[in-house]
Amino acid sequence: MDMKQPTAAPADAADRVPGSGLASLRVPLDPYPIQVGPSAHLAAEAERLSQLSFEHFDVRRMGATIGAEITGVDITRDLPDEAIAELSTALAAFKVIFFREQPLTAERHVAFARRFGDLEIHPFFPANTGEPALVRFEKSAELSGYENAWHHDVTWREVPSMGAVLHAITVPEVGGDTLFCDMYAAYDGLDEATKERVDQLDAVHDYMRAFGMFVAPDKVDETRARYPEVTHPVVCTHPVTGRRHLYVNRNFVSGIVGLGPDDSTTLIDLLCRQADYPEYQCRFRWEPDSVAFWDNRAVQHYASSDYWPQPRVMERASIVGTRPER
């Protein structure tokens, strides 16, 4: 029986560096639905961000295209309109901004968040006893964290949040970080065939997927009437930046309009996996009185649930947005 001879390696193979000659090309790692290689599509945005400067504070960038720590400003006091406008500009640019050593009272937390818009009341999470607009996340050995999946907040609302201001009150010594992902980058990194496929699709969002357990049986019909299923575009255009971003998550999306259950699940999972690339992310290590302010349209977030049984107490004010548009 004839044996197939091995193909000889090129004479210069030993001198090549893996990846040389590929430049900015990302390639699939067959047979898996992931890509390896440089995320070259981030370069222009990273360069743009490197050129930004601000009058009322300084910034330290965290990820290639996402995240900046803000210093030189005290958000516990009433800031001038010019500083608030610059913070809005920084939020639009960096997608999530962070502050350290900001001992916000509940009153000052709400006052700061209100400078950016009206605040929403969450119907399923408990609130700070003195401020209904503050959702209180109080985790302990008896109540663990279940926010460790990539998501935008409250996409089951007809008008979801524009953004959120999260204040750390008690944090574990280790763990409990929050990760954020740039959903512009996640969309831009898709191949053209997938973009063409998803650009005109809509997704069904339903509060029951995550919060159905919080609704008493005798209140299901009443709650459903108040919060019916809603549809939002799979790919939305940001109302401030005009950029396209993915807008699906596993927590609240029950299906894709026009697709069967299996095809919906496969496509939703493919799109949600884009948030898994660390190149699109930044990670924030909490300290007492740290604050994160994120654009709930441009980013998804993931709260690491690795601190049990240590306590973790946070409060969040969410700012009313606009209906997502294609």
pLDDT at 15: 54
Among 76-85, 182-191, 204-213, the least confident range: 204-213
For residue 18, what pLDDT is reported? 55
Q: Of 109, 122, 151, 238, which residue is the catalytic one?
A: 151
41 is catalytic: no
Mean pLDDT, rounded, for 158-163: 96
| From 153, 182, 188, 295, the catalytic residue | 153
Q: Does the active-site annotation cover 209?
A: no
Q: Given this model, what pLDDT does residue 22 score? A: 58
> Cβ(289)–Cβ(101) under 8 Å?
yes
pLDDT of residue 325: 97
Would the pLDDT of 6 be above 50?
no
Q: Which one, of 45, 326, 300, lies nearest residue 149 by Cα?
A: 300
Average pLDDT, the chain: 91
pLDDT higher at 243 or 10: 243
Secondary structure class of 319 (helix, strand, coil): strand
For 294, the enclosing helix (H) or strand (E) is strand 291-295
Element (H, E) at 11: none
Q: Please indicate, yes or no, whether the overall pTM of this predicted structure exceeds 0.85.
A: yes
Range of weakest confidence among 136-145, 177-186, 247-256: 136-145
Nearest by Cα to 244 from 321, 297, 179 = 297
* 7 has pLDDT over 90: no
Catalytic entry in 167, 238, 301, 312: 301
Q: What is the pLDDT of residues 89-133, one digit of tens each?
A: 999 999 999 999 999 999 999 999 999 999 999 888 777 778 899
- Asked if residues 324 and 233 have their Cβ atoms less than 8 Å apart, the reply is yes
Identify the residue with better confidence: 78 or 20. Answer: 78
Catalytic residue at 245? no
Q: How confident is the model at residue 216 (pLDDT cuts 50, 70, 90)?
A: confident
* pLDDT tens digits, 231-281: 999 999 999 999 999 999 999 999 999 999 999 999 999 999 999 999 999
Residues 6+ positions from 70 with CB-CB distance below 8 Å: 57, 58, 59, 87, 90, 97, 98, 99
Is the CB of residue 289 less than 8 Å from the CB of residue 100? yes
What one-letter code names the amino acid at 193?
A: A
The DSSP letter of residue 118 is P
**What is the pLDDT at residue 14?**
46
CATH superfamily of 40-320: Clavaminate synthase-like (3.60.130.10)
Active-site annotation holds for 316 = yes
pLDDT-derived band at 168 (thresholds 50, 70, 90) equals very high
What pLDDT band is residue 3 in, cutting at 50, 70 and 90?
very low
